Amino acid sequence: MQSAQVAQSQIGSPRFTMLLNCAAIVMAVGLLGLIALRFRAYQWDFNMFYWSTEDFLRGQSPYKGQGLSFYHPPLTLYLYRLFLFLPRPVAYELWFGLKLAALATLLVTWRRHFERLQPDWLTILYFVFAFNGALYADLVAGNVSLFEQLGLWLGFLALLRGQYARFCLCVILVAQFKLTPIFFSVLLLFVPERPQWRWLAVCVVGFVALFSLNYLLQPELTAQFFKSASGLEEGIDTGNASTLTLFRDVLDRARGAGFAASSHLDELAYLAVVGAVGVVSLVTALRYRAVANRDPRLLIYFACLLFTLIAPRMKVYSYILLLLPTLHLLRRLSARTLVPLATAVVGMAVLFPQHGSLLPFRALFDILYLFLPLIGAALAWSGYVHAMASARAVEAQDPRHELATAV
C-alpha cells in the first residue's frame, strides 16, 4: 500500500512499525473473539432468521412487519431451515464461522485479483473502521451481507475473465435475498469489449425465473413479503444511511416529524438525485469505455459507488461494497492532494459541533455526522467521475499514455 509505505517511513524504525502491525492484528482478532464468545448478545439478524424459520415450520408467518422482522423472500427460508437441525448456540457459531470463511475468501479474492493488500497496520485499521465499521457491523449483526459481497465479487472476477455465465449465476443468486443487486447485471454492457445484450437478458430472465419459485411454493408468503418490504422505512437510527433516508430525515427535522411521509417531497427529491446521478454516471461510463487503455476494474468500482447512491436502503454493513473501490481511489491520491485532504479532516474534527453543543444549528451537523458513510460514498463517486474524465482527456492528448498514470 503506497500510502502505508509513506506513513511508515515517516513514523520511525521498522521495529516500531512491527509493533503497530502487531497491535492492529491483536485488535482485529480481539474484536472477532468478542463476537464469537458473546453469542447471547450479538448476531441478532441470524437469531431473527432462525426464529423466523421456526415460525415458518409451525405454519406462522415470519413477516411481522415491525421490529426485527423477517424481510427476505420466502425461498430463503428453505436455506435457513438447514440451521434448525442444530441447537441455536451451535448454529450461531457455525453461522459465524461461515462468515469468517466468507470474509477470508473475500480478502484473498480482493488481494489476488483486484488490489494488493498487505497486513500492515494502516490497511487493517482501514478495514476495521472504514464506513462506520461496515465489516465489524456485519459480523456483529449476523447479516447475510458478507455472503452477498463474496458472491458479487466472485461474479465481478468472472466478468473480468469473460466468464459471463458464471457472472450471471452469481448475480442471480445474490439478488434472491435483497433483490436490488440485480442492478449489477448492467455491467455486462460496459465491462466487456462489446456490450453483452444477450447475457444481460439471460441474467434478468434467470433472476425472474428463480424468484418466481417464491410464487410457486409460497404464494401467500410472497404477497406478505412484498407488503412487508414496501412498508420497510427504517431511519438513520437503525443504520439505514441511504439517500432516501437523508432527504426524509432532513425534511422531518425541518418541518416536523411525519412531514416527509405526508408530502412525499423526500421521494421526489430522491428521484431527482437518482436521475441526475444516473445521467452523469452513464455519460462518464460511456466516455471512459471509449478509452483505449481503460481499466475495466474502474467501471466495476464506479458501479458499486453508483449503486450505493441510488439504493433506497443502505444499512451500515452494506457499505462493505465500497471498501475496495474507495481504497483504490485513496491509494492514487497524489501527495499534493493528501496534504489539503488531511488538513480538511483535522479542521472538521476541530470545528464539528459535538452532540452536546448548544449552537442553534447543531441539528445540521448531527445529520452530517449520521450520514458520513453516504457522504463519503458521494465524494468517492465524484473522485471517480473526475479520474475517469481525466483519463479520457489525457489519452486525447497522448494516445500512448497508460491509464495507470492517469488514475
Mean pLDDT computed over every residue of the chain? 84
User: Phi-psi region for residue 61, left (φ > 0), alpha (ψ -120 to 50) or beta?
Assistant: beta
Interior CA angle at 355 toward 349 and 357, to 5°?
85
Q: DSSP code of 116?
A: -
The pLDDT assigned to 33 comes to 81
Contacts of 205 (CB under 8 A, 6+ apart): none
What is the pLDDT, as a whole number, of residue 288?
Answer: 92
Other residues' Cβ atoms within 10 Å of the Cβ of residue 369: 13
- The model carries a pTM of 0.87
Q: What is the pLDDT of residue 10?
A: 46
Could you give the CA distance from residue 300 to residue 16 in angstroms, rounded to a whole number?
Answer: 37
| Range 268-286 average pLDDT | 94
H helices present in 114-144, as ranges: 121-141
* Confidence band of 108 (pLDDT split at 50, 70, 90): very high
- For position 9, what pLDDT does the model report? 47
Cβ atoms 324, 155 nearer than 8 A:
no
Name the one residue in this structure whose C-alpha cell is 464539528.
Answer: 352
Share of the chain above pLDDT 70, in %: 86
pLDDT at 13 over 80: no
User: What's the CA gap between 284 and 282, in Å, rounded?
Assistant: 5
Confidence of residue 39 (pLDDT cuts 50, 70, 90): low
Cell of 282: 452513464
- The three cell numbers of residue 234 are 427504517
The pLDDT value given to residue 235: 59
Domain boundaries, the chain: 10-231, 233-407
| Cα–Cα distance measured from residue 167 to residue 156, given in angstroms and rounded to the nearest whole number | 7
Per-residue confidence at 1, pLDDT binned at 50, 70, 90?
very low
Give residue 283's pLDDT.
94
Could you tell me which residue, 364 or 17, shows the higher pLDDT? 17
Half-sphere exposure (CA, 13 Å, Cβ side) for 288? Answer: 30
Contact of 49 with 80, CB cutoff 8 Å: yes
Distance CA(112)–CA(4), nearest Å, equals: 19
- Helices 197-217 and 164-178: crossing angle, nearest 10°? 40
Using CA atoms, how far apart are residues 381 and 403, in angstroms rounded to an integer? 18
Long-range contacts of 366-372 (CB under 8 A, 24+ apart): 367/246, 367/249, 367/250, 367/253, 370/236, 370/241, 370/249, 371/236, 371/241, 371/245, 371/246, 371/249, 372/132
Q: How far apart are CA 164 and CA 354, in angstroms?
A: 49
**Block residue for cell numbers 513514523:** 11
Average pLDDT over residues 21-39: 81
Contacts of 42 (CB under 8 A, 6+ apart): 35, 140, 141, 142
- Confidence band (pLDDT; 50, 70, 90) for 205? very high
- The grid cell for 49 is 432468521
Instruction: Find all residues with CB under 8 Å of 354, minimum gap 6, and list them.
Output: none
3-state secondary structure 22-79: HHHHHHHHHHHHHHHHCCCCCCHHHHHHHHHHHHHHCCCCCCCCCCCCCCCCCHHHHH
Residue 252 to residue 270: CA distance in whole angstroms: 15
**Which ranges of 290-371 would DSSP assign to H, the alpha helix?**
296-310, 323-331, 335-351, 362-370
